[in-house]
Copies of this chain bind each other. A is one copy, B any other.
Amino acid sequence: MKLWGDRFGKESSEEAFQFSASLPFDRRLWKHDIRGSVAHAGMLGKCGIIPQAEAEQIIAGLKQIETDIQTALDRNEDPFDPQSEDIHTEIERKLTEKIGEVAGRLHTARSRNDQVALDLRLYLRDACDEIGKSLIRLQEALIAQAESHLKTETILPGYTHRQHAQPVLLSHHLLAYFWKFQRDRDRVCDCRRRINVSPLGAAALAGTSYPIDPALTAAELEFPCAFDNSMDAVSDRDFAVEFLAVAATCMSHLSSLAGELVLWSSAEFGFVILDDAWCTGSSIMPQKRNPDIAELVNGKAGRVLGHLVGLVSLLKGLPLTYNRDLQEDKEAVFDSHNTLCGSLGVMAGMLQNAAFQSGQMLEAVKASPFLAATEVADYLAKKRVPFRQAHSLTAKIVRSCEEKKKSLADLSLEEWKKFSPLFDADIEELLEVGAVVKAKASPGGTAPQEVTKAIMKAKQVMQAPREG
Contacts and interface: CB of A to CB of B under 8 A. Distances in A.
A141 to B, nearest CB: 13
B457 A228 contact: yes
Given A9-B399, A231-B173, A440-B206, A4 B316 contact: no
Closest 5 CB pairs between A and B?
A207-B445, A4-B281, A104-B386, A306-B310, A104-B388
B2 A444 contact: no
B162 A323 contact: yes
Copies in the complex: 4
Interface stretch (A65-73, A262-270, A409-417): A262-270
Nearest to A457: B228
B107 A387 contact: yes
A296 B233 contact: no
State which size class the interface on A falls in: 35 or more
Contacts of A12: 277-278, 280
A98 interface: no
A153 interface: no
18 contacts: A7-B286, A8-B279, A13-B278, A16-B346, A19-B343, A20-B292, A112-B284, A165-B206, A186-B194, A203-B445, A233-B444, A256-B316, A287-B394, A292-B324, A295-B324, A298-B325, A301-B317, A313-B313
A172, A230, A293, A343, most chain B CB atoms within 10 A: A230
Interface in A294-314: 295-296, 298-303, 305-314
A85 B296 CA distance: 14
B388 A172 contact: no
A306 B288 contact: no
A9 B276 contact: yes
Contacts of A178: 229
A428 interface: no
Interface string A352-390: 000000000000100111110111111001100011110
A286 B395 contact: yes
A316 B318 contact: no
A222 interface: no
Interface string A11-55: 111011011100000000000000000000000000000000000
B15 A346 contact: yes
A444 B207 contact: yes
A151 B48 CA distance: 33
Contacts of A368: 267
A453 to B, nearest CB: 10
Contact of A256 (B102, B318, B374): B318
A81 interface: no
A229 B175 contact: yes
A255 interface: yes
Given A20-B280, A286-B398, A441-B209, A103 B322 contact: no
B286 A374 contact: yes
A6 interface: yes
A382 B212 CA distance: 13
A1 B183 CA distance: 37
A235 interface: yes
A463 interface: no
Given A209-B378, A229-B172, A281-B395, A163 B290 contact: yes
Contacts of A346: 15-16, 19
A387 B105 contact: yes
A442 B289 contact: no
Contact of A322 (B105, B161, B210, B369): B161
Interface string A443-465: 11111001000100100000000
A382 B48 CA distance: 11
A376 B373 CA distance: 47
B3 A319 contact: no
A289 B9 CA distance: 11
A61 interface: no
A112, A175, A262, A394, most chain B CB atoms within 10 A: A262
A168, A265, A286, most chain B CB atoms within 10 A: A286
Given A284-B107, A313-B305, A328-B302, A165 B204 contact: yes
A238 to B, nearest CB: 5
